[in-house]
Amino acid sequence: MFKPVMNATVFPALAAGVSSCKIVPTSSSSAPKLEVGEVQVNPDIKLRYMVYRPAHPKDTVLFLHGFPETMYAWKPIAESLSSDYEVHAFDWPGYGQSSRPGADRFSYAPKDYARVLADYVRTSGIDSSKLVIYATDIGALPALLAALEQPDIARKIIVGDFAPFDRPQYMYESLQGLKSKPSSEVVRAAMNKNRDDILANTFFRGMSAQERYALPQAFRDDIAKGWAGDVTSADAFFHYYSSFTRDQDYFEANMAKLKVPVKVVWGEQDIYIKKEMGVEYANRTGVELSILPKLGHYPHLQAPEQTVHEVHTAFSAGSHPVSD
């Protein structure tokens, strides 16, 4: 059970939100339960979390969101999987309703996010031998860094549409600008000023009108509500990038030590971080790679059924961490 839960609410899984993947439970009493609450994972960080709990879960899934998302990016997928698996998601610090400490107390760096992830897995009492982590964008490098420090953190990690290496040539212009000062301060200011444009267009940039996909209004509203305070989501993103190159270089120098099986999943039409980044990582490490045709930077939002398939496949493959 999730031990140190505070302010948690529990209700049937189908009671809230909009899902593109429907569950039909055999009875209301057997329907998976959804908990939404807060948990203190370390002295500085309290996370808002979401957990679906079926009566008899086979295994456990933990989803890690990217920018500018919140944990509710995973809600339709979590609902679809919750008849078989216990499904977790949380807001990263600086996003949604999780803590937003000042940068003097928390750096928002990938390595710090990795420690938050490890703290969450430990605090929630998740059995790592039954856990698959699915991480995208800013969530992916922390997942891999956490696995370097704790080789048994999961039985498998699925990552995608992120930047494991310092390869600015594969990244969108504004992301390149966040890599160093003074351009990073300019990008930060622009992102804070243009919040509404970012929330309206980030998920669809580069797509034709016909290619755009629906996003639940509740998800949009949750992102907008969470983009507030002394540390906005744009500020958290800026601080993440302040240490990004350092942590990318650390990962590249140590990735051969990774013991947890990894799969890479990438949107073929990702304009923010080009698929060549994923191809290089897969080629250099020998991990499995899936390039998803016609999908962009947010495959889990654009084609949630593909993410559901990836999770089912990860468990059916029976992968386990490699021991020394």
pLDDT band at residue 319 under the 50/70/90 scheme: very low
Distance of alpha carbon 256 from alpha carbon 185, whole angstroms = 34
Q: Mean pLDDT across the chain, nearest whole number?
A: 91
pLDDT band at residue 6 under the 50/70/90 scheme: very low
26 against 290, higher pLDDT: 290
173 against 11, higher pLDDT: 173
Q: For residue 317, what are the CA distances in angstroms to 21, 198, 233? A: 23, 38, 36
Alpha helices by DSSP H, 99-257: 110-124, 140-149, 173-177, 183-193, 195-201, 217-226, 233-242, 244-254
Which residues have CB under 8 Å from 241's CB, separation 6+? 175, 178, 179, 184
Is 85 exposed, middle or buried (CB count within 10 Å of its CB: 0-12, 13-18, 19+)?
Answer: buried
Tokens 């059916």 -> residue: 316
pLDDT value of residue 71: 98
Q: Give me the residue spans of the domains in the chain.
A: 6-316
pLDDT value of residue 317: 77
Which residues have CB under 8 Å from 208's CB, separation 6+? none
Distance of alpha carbon 72 from alpha carbon 95, whole angstroms = 11
Res 90 pLDDT > 70: yes
User: pLDDT tens-digit profile of 28-40?
Assistant: 456 899 999 999 9
Res 292 pLDDT > 90: yes
User: Does the pTM exceed 0.75?
Assistant: yes
Nearest-5° Cα angle at 286, 89 to 307:
30
- Backbone φ and ψ of 4, nearest 5°: -90, 50
DSSP bridge partners of 51? 35, 88
Tokens 């897995």 -> residue: 121
- Backbone φ and ψ of 67, nearest 5°: -90, 140
Give domain 6-316's CATH number out of 3.20.190.10, 3.40.50.300, 3.40.50.1820, 3.40.50.1100: 3.40.50.1820
Distance of alpha carbon 242 from alpha carbon 308, whole angstroms = 33
Residue 213 CA, chain-centre distance (Å), reads 19
Which stretch of DSSP H or E encloses residue 266? strand 262-267
Distance of alpha carbon 171 from alpha carbon 188, whole angstroms = 17
Looking from the CA of 250 toward its CB, the CA atoms found within 13 Å total: 15
Q: Sheet with 262-267: list strands edge to edge.
A: 6-12, 33-42, 45-53, 85-90, 59-64, 131-136, 156-160, 262-267, 288-292
User: pLDDT tens-digit profile of 162-213?
Assistant: 999 999 999 999 999 999 999 999 999 999 999 999 999 999 999 999 999 9
pLDDT band at residue 17 under the 50/70/90 scheme: very low
- Residues 264 and 160 sit within 8 Å (Cβ to Cβ): yes
